[in-house]
A and B are shown apart, each in its own frame.
Chain A
Amino acid sequence: MLAIVDSGGANIASVRFALERLGVPSELTADPAVIRAADRVILPGVGSAQEGMKRLHAKGLVEVVRGLTQPVLGICLGMQLMFESSAEGETTSLGLIPGRVALLPESPGITVPHMGWNTLTIRPDTPLLAGFSPATRFYFVHSFAGPVNAFTVASCDHGTPFAAVVQRANFSGVQFHPERSGAAGARLLQNFLAMPA
Chain B
Amino acid sequence: MLARRLIPCLDVRDGRVVKGVQFRNHVDMGDIIELAQRYRDSGADELVFYDITASSDGRTVSTDWVTRVAKVIDIPFCVAGGIRSLDDARRLLHSGADKVSLNSPAIENPALLGELAAEFGSQCVVVGIDSRHENGDYFVKQFTGDPTKTRGTRWRTVDWAREAQKLGAGEIVLNCMNQDGERKGYDLPQLKLVRAVLTIPLVASGGAGAPEHFRDVFRDAGVDAALAASVFHSGAIPIPKLKQYLAAEGVIVRP
Contact = CB atoms under 8 A, between A and B. Distances in A.
Interface stretch (B13-21, B94-102, B130-138, B175-183): B94-102
A119 B123 CA distance: 19
Nearest to A114: B2
Q: State the majority secondary structure of interface residues on A.
A: mixed
Contacts, number: 111
A46 B255 contact: no
A126 interface: no
Contact of A111 (B40, B90, B200): B200
A35 B241 CA distance: 46
B225 interface: yes
Interface in B194-227: 198-202, 222, 224-225
B193 interface: no
A12 interface: yes
Nearest to A157: B1
Interface stretch (A14-22, A56-64, A91-99): A14-22
B121 A139 contact: no
Interface string B43-55: 0011000000000
Given A10-B124, A17-B96, A111-B201, A180 B76 contact: yes
Interface string A110-128: 0111111111000000000
Contacts of A114: 2
Which one of B98, B200, B255 has the greatest number of beta carbons of chain A within 10 Å? B98
B199 A141 contact: no
Nearest to B66: A13
Contact of B74 (A13, A116, A140, A179): A179
Contact of A47 (B1, B119, B254): B119
Contacts of A11: 93, 96, 98
A143 B122 contact: yes
A111 B76 contact: no
B111 interface: no
Contacts of B98: 11, 14, 141, 177, 180
A131 interface: no
Given A47-B120, A112-B200, A114-B2, A14 B70 contact: yes
Interface of A: 10-14, 17-18, 20-21, 46-48, 51, 77, 106, 109, 111-119, 135, 137, 139-143, 157-158, 177, 179-183, 185-186
Instruction: Give 9 nearest A-B pairs by CB, closest first.
Output: A10-B93, A13-B96, A113-B123, A117-B254, A180-B76, A106-B199, A117-B3, A141-B123, A111-B201
13 contacts: A11-B98, A12-B94, A13-B96, A48-B121, A51-B119, A111-B200, A112-B199, A113-B123, A116-B225, A118-B1, A141-B124, A158-B2, A180-B75
